[in-house]
Amino acid sequence: MIFYDVCNTLLLYGISRWTKFYENILFAVLILALIVFSVTMVIYPFSEIRVMWYFFTIMIAYFVGGRNIGHVTAIASLVIIYYINFVCNLDFSATANASIIIGILFISQISNYFVNILDENEKELYNYQNHLQDMIDNAVKVIEELNIEITDTQKEVVFTMGAIGESRSKETGNHVKRVAEYSKILALAYGIEEEDAELLKMASPMHDIGKVGIPDNILKKPAKLTFEEFEIMKTHSIIGYEMLKYSKRPILKTASIVAYEHHERWDGKGYPLGIFGDNIHIYGRITAIADVFDALGSKRIYKDAWEDEKIFELFREEKGKQFDPKLVDLFFLNFSKFDEIRKKLVDIQDA
């Protein structure tokens, strides 16, 4: 009989091990087992059914209620055995009593053993989860560092490409650096989020990248361009856009907008699209002011640098014509910041 009950116990342990999430159901079974056990004690003071429920109740108590509840249930079972035999004066054979007591003790020990194994497994699982979390945290950190490195590399590539475009017209890379800084100043003043303002700063150096497709005899001509030559020069906006428009990278997508629209005018008389007002992307409107200010204030092979007052006069005249009027106002309000950048990034003319 003990062997039979042990087999039942092991089988029930296997079931309960894989149905841990049914704890509420198992607790209900435990209550039912106690009720049935009480009834069978009265009706059948000693029977195989009663013994089975002893063992079943103890086993469920261990695996569902935990080690302490299991111990209490086992002790309670022994007390009940004592009560039945000595208080109720039910005369069972010594062999029967010994079988039940040994069975209870055996079930208690084996249940406790398996509960200990479960506890150890839970500890190992907890440690593994912590180790896995550390691995994930380290992986995330590495990915973040790689993203930063990729972003920095993209910035360097963008500045380099922008400088290449400008160098063909005998201008240093400081022009694109200044335009980048000016663009961010205006973007923040306009109310654009820091992240987008930084994106514009990184992309704006590419505004004239299309100049790589303009012939040298036009790009480097010291005299005024003819109508035909100027028409060719204007195509640099389209060339730059075509070079960048298919990229899925935010920096280059932004750069494609800047390259395409920074020569549009608020009054619609710009190129290449001839769009006007708010139809011009804000990135194009901002870069237009940054580019024109730096171009007028810098010495070129075909002109000397303009004085600030002359530049201010032009901006006042072109407010609402060439330039977004709100951005012109923001330019004047933030001119001290522009001046700091200009002094910091001085041009180095080619010898």
Whether the link from the prior residue into 272 is cis, omega within 30° of 0, is yes
Neighbours of 155 (CB within 10 A): 17
What are the CB-based long-range contacts (under 8 Å, 24+) for 257-261?
257/203, 257/281, 257/283, 257/284, 258/200, 258/203, 258/204, 258/206, 258/207, 258/283, 258/284, 258/287, 259/206, 259/207, 259/208, 259/209, 259/210, 260/284, 261/237, 261/285
Residue of 177, 184, 211, 319 marked catalytic? 211
Active site residue 211: yes
Residue 208 CA: distances (Å) to CA of 163, 205, 211, 221, 291: 9, 8, 6, 17, 10
Distance of CA 188 to the CA centre of its chain: 24
Cα Rg of the chain, angstroms:
42
Q: What φ, ψ does residue 322 adopt, rounded to 5°?
A: -80, -35
Tokens of 230: 């100027």
Q: Sign (positive/negative) of CA torsion 167, 344, 240, 268?
A: negative
Instruction: Report DSSP state, residue 273.
Output: S
Tokens of 186: 């205006």
CB 310 within 8 A of CB 297: no
Which residue in the block uniquely carries the two structure tokens 């017209």?
A: 169
As a whole number of angstroms, the distance between CA 83 and CA 315 comes to: 105
As a whole number of angstroms, the distance between CA 308 and CA 297 comes to: 7
Neighbours of 38 (CB within 10 A): 12
Query: What residues are annotated to the active site?
Result: 211
